[in-house]
Structure 1
Amino acid sequence: MKIDLHVHCREYSFCGRSSADEQVQAAMTAGLDALVFADHDHLFPEDHLQTLNKKYAPFKIFSGIEITEYTGEHILVLGVRDASLEFERWNYTDLYHFVQNWGGFLALNHPFRFTSEIEIEYERFLPHAVEAYSNNISPHLQPRILKLAQNIGVNVLSNSDSHHRDDIGRYYNELEKTPETEEELIELLKAGSFSCVAPSHPLR
Structure 2
Amino acid sequence: MLYDFHIHTREYSDCSISSAEEMCQRAVEKGLAGIALTEHDSWRPPSEIQELQKKFPELTIMRGMEHSCPEGHFLVFLPNPENGDIPEWCSVLDLIPLVHNYGGIVIWAHPFRFSSKWPNWLKHVRPDGMEVASSNMHRQAEAKARKVAADRGILTFHNSDAHDAFILGRYLNELEVHLTCVEDFITYVHKQGNGDGIRPASPVGAASSS
Taking structure 1 as the reference length, what is the TM-score of the superposition? 0.91
- Unaligned runs of 5+ residues in structure 1 are none
Of 187, 193, 199 in structure 2, the residue corresponding to residue 195 of structure 1 is: 199
Partners of 1:69 and 1:90 within 8 A in 2: yes
User: 2:65 aligns to what SS in structure 1?
Assistant: strand
- State the Cα distance separating 1:60 from its structure 2 match: 0.9
In the aligned structure 2, how far is the partner of 1:21 from the partner of 1:106? 26
Q: Which residue of 1 aligns with 2:41?
A: 41
Q: Which residue of 2 aligns with 1:117?
A: 117
Q: Which residue of 2 aligns with 1:169?
A: 169
- State the Cα distance separating 1:198 from its structure 2 match: 3.7
Partners of 1:160 and 1:169 within 8 A in 2: yes
1:1-204 alignment to 2 at 5 Å?
A: 1-71=1-71, 73-79=72-78, 81-82=81-82, 84-85=85-86, 88-119=88-119, 121-192=121-192, 193-199=197-203
In the aligned structure 1, how far is the partner of 2:17 from the partner of 2:191? 33
Distance 1:103 1:120, change over 3 A: farther
- Unaligned runs of 5+ residues in structure 2 are none
- State the Cα distance separating 1:120 from its structure 2 match: 5.1
| C-alpha RMSD of matched pairs (Å) | 1.8
Q: Deviations over 1:152-184 (max 9, x none)?
A: 111110000000000012211111111223211
Q: In structure 2, give the amino acid aligned to 1:111.
A: P
Partners of 2:52 and 2:61 within 8 A in 1: yes
Distance 1:130 1:81, change over 3 A: same
Partners of 2:3 and 2:173 within 8 A in 1: yes
Taking structure 2 as the reference length, what is the TM-score of the superposition? 0.88
- What stretches of structure 1 move > 4 A for 4+ residues in a row? none
Distance 1:84 1:118, change over 3 A: farther
In the aligned structure 2, how far is the partner of 1:142 from the partner of 1:171? 13
